[in-house]
Amino acid sequence: MKIRDKFRLSFLTWNLYMGAELPPLFTAVRNQIPNLVSDVYQQFLATNYPLRVKAIAREIAQKKPDLIGLQEAVKWQLEIPNFRTITYDFVQMLIIELKKKGLDYALVVQNNNTTVELPDSNGNLIRLMDRDAILIRNQNRLQVNKRMKANFQTNLNIQIQNQQMEILRGWCSIDIRLDRKQFRLINTHLDTQIDIQIQQAREIIVGPAQTDLPLIVMGDLNSNAMTNDSITYKQFSEFGMQDIWINSGIDTGVTCCQGPDLLNAESSLDSRIDFILYKNGWTPIEAEIVEGRTNTGLWSSDHAGVSAKMYLN
């Protein structure tokens, strides 16, 4: 192995899509909640993560990234009285599908965000736990030295059932040793509301991104790099982060968004809000968009993933 190849690393970030649109719940009055919860859960079932995860694993298996950052890596639970709780754990289901393809990945750090529990119209309880996660491909050359995670101090506040609820988001990170070299990887999913998003980005910049180590920030920043008013994207640029897609990508690199039911015939991706950003000692090699469909025609997610290869200098 050449010395140069010895420090070649690959990364992938992907928003898995929780499988349903939640905003209708945010404006509902109390007596509407159960029916809306049932509608949301039915949409989740229709977008069929157990089938989508096979397509996601197939695409990841083609890239075989060393490290994966996941957003909307949620856990859904249907709690049926006097029966049992049915769980869909997006992270564990993906790890299982990757293992079927001969790829051994492990969950190394996960930040837990908002958990919502609401009754449906059938007498059941629906629980949704939002999470972001980092997976590492199990191999001897990468050693995790440090794990960190936190929720943001600035978050969206909404009202459900006449109660205030904070929609927690956050970040997770790891410090990795590769022989005598070290680097830091941060994974996050920022809010869609611009004023909140700007503050969340700032928390990362003045927090875990304050390091002299070679740095990667990846995730769904919800800031469209294809427009001139992408304040959050510019924040990271002004901090010195470089965009792998600008330096090594081909075409537009759009990553969002397919239709909520994932059944649109033609791709509707038209914005670039998912990124792999780097700073302090990286040389980019290539960047690619990752997407696919199930054999029933569903897009694998409402986002495309972004993969990248880089040299650690």
pLDDT digits (tens, 9 = 90+) for 213-230: 999 999 999 999 998 789
CATH number listed for the domain at residues 3-297: 3.60.10.10
Cα torsion through 296, 298, 301, 302, rounded to 10 = 180
Whether pLDDT at 301 is above 60: yes
How would residue 1 be classed by pLDDT, with cut points 50, 70 and 90? very low
Its pTM stands at 0.95
**What pLDDT is stored for residue 164 in this prediction?**
80
Cis peptide upstream of residue 257 (ω within 30 degrees of 0): yes
pLDDT digits (tens, 9 = 90+) for 200-212: 999 999 999 999 9
Burial of 63 (0-12, 13-18, 19+ CB in 10 A): middle
Which residue in 26, 51, 58, 36 sits closest to 305, CA to CA?
A: 58
Which of 79-93, 137-151, 157-171, 252-266 shows the lowest per-residue confidence on average (mean pLDDT)? 157-171
Task: Report domain extents, the chain.
Answer: 3-297
